[in-house]
């Protein structure tokens, strides 16, 4: 298991790529901007991104969700209350 921490976005929130070298799978935590750089990080590590996880629903932690989900096919995971807000506020 390897964890790569990367500051992203204008607020420099930390995004984490958590990867399992034995399976070649990974999760991404709080993709808050700089989506192209995050995709580059995923590709450089040659992993299949399975999940995008948000620690909470503030935009400074979630603004990269849509682009990264579309680019990787990863499932999005967040707390049920945040999920309810996102589904009904769009």
pTM as predicted: 0.85
Mean of pLDDT over the chain: 88
What confidence category does residue 89 fall into, taking pLDDT thresholds of 50, 70 and 90?
very low
Q: Name the least confident of 41-45, 61-65, 84-88.
A: 84-88
| pLDDT for the residue numbered 78 | 80
Residue 85 has pLDDT above 70, yes or no: no
> What is the spatial distance between Cα 71 and Cα 86, in angstroms, rounded to a whole number?
20
Report the CATH fold assignment for 2-68+80-89: Metallo-beta-lactamase; Chain A (3.60.15)
Q: Which long-range contacts (CB under 8 A, 24 or more apart) does 77-85 make?
A: 77/51, 77/52, 77/53, 78/53, 78/54, 79/54, 81/57, 82/54, 82/56, 82/57, 85/57
CB neighbour list of residue 34: distance below 8 Å, 6 or more residues apart:
6, 8, 9, 15, 64
Q: pLDDT tens-digit profile of 69-78?
A: 999 999 999 8
Residue 37 has pLDDT above 80, yes or no: yes
């Amino acid at each position: 298991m390897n964890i790569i921490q990367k500051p992203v976005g204008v607020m420099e929130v930390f995004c984490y790529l958590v990867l399992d070298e034995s399976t070649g799978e990974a999760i991404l935590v709080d993709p808050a901007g700089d989506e192209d750089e995050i995709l580059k990080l995923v590709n450089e590590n040659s992993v299949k991104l399975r999940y995008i996880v948000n620690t909470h629903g503030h935009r400074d932690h979630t603004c990269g969700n849509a682009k990264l989900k579309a680019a990787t096919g990863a499932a999005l995971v967040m707390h049920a209350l945040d999920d309810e807000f996102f589904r009904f506020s769009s």
